[in-house]
Amino acid sequence: MFAEKGANLVLVARRKEKLVSVKESILAMFPNVSIRYELCDMTQVTQIDALVERLADTQVDIIVNNAGLALGTESGDRVAIEDVITMFNTNVIGVMTLTNRIAPQMRSRNSGDIVNIGSVAGSDHYAGGAIYCATKSAIDAYTDCLRMDLVETNIRVIGINPGLVSGTEFSLVRFRGDSQLASAPYKGLECLTAMDVADQVLYAVTRPHNVQIAQLNSYCTHQGHAKYVIARD
């Protein structure tokens, strides 16, 4: 969607094959857009620092912090501490680190948009999601506090918090490759899609300069809570 508007893109992820595929699919539709990709594990501060160094000559107008995952559905007192660390490093520390490294250039220009992809799970807490919900609650708080910290600048800080989104690897990762369990949360629903979420991001960053979308929560129709209020066919 950003490419459709003529934006130049920097794609960041761990897997080169995924980045190449996304780049090629975008260029097939929008051949005049400038796209570069960068390999980076967002759980590793040293890799984020190296990424920012490679982008030193690039003006970053919009950050979309989209890295995130859930691992398992164990009770909060039984989650492996290694999974706790991975979720917090990915969902929280990575977001804060990249923002910390890019924000100075935004401050120097007095412009920019910082978009954090959260989840309705940040406020819709549920059993079996203690750590994931905690990370998304942390992102909600960080987004709100950062907006206050930057209130005297023209930098906008935006939270996008979707409900159930199908067609991604999120659930497959959560259920450790078990496709049957991974598909269960989406059965009987026309869920949100990645394109729906992208549309919300584009909407937020294309508002007039005097409009700042603070937190945008969305569910698919027939969902009223992250887990407990859902009407399925």
Both tokens of 216, joined, read 């945008």
Alpha helices in 80-226 (DSSP H): 81-88, 94-109, 130-149, 170-174, 179-183, 194-205
Note if 132 is an active site residue: yes
Both tokens of 223, joined, read 């969902």
Burial of 156 (0-12, 13-18, 19+ CB in 10 A): buried
Dihedrals phi, psi of 154, to nearest 5 degrees: -95, 15
* Angle, vertex CA 124, rays to CA 122 and CA 129, nearest 5: 75
The residue with tokens 């912090």 is 65
* Angle, vertex CA 98, rays to CA 92 and CA 103, nearest 5: 120
Both tokens of 172, joined, read 């497959």
Choose the catalytic residue: 16, 37, 132, 219.
132
Report whether 230 contacts 192 (CB < 8 A).
no
What are the b/e assignments for 30-64, b being 16+ CB within 10 Å? Answer: beebebebeebbbbbbebbeebbeebeeeebebbb
Choose the catalytic residue: 37, 136, 142, 227.
136
Note if 136 is an active site residue: yes
Catalytic positions: 132, 136
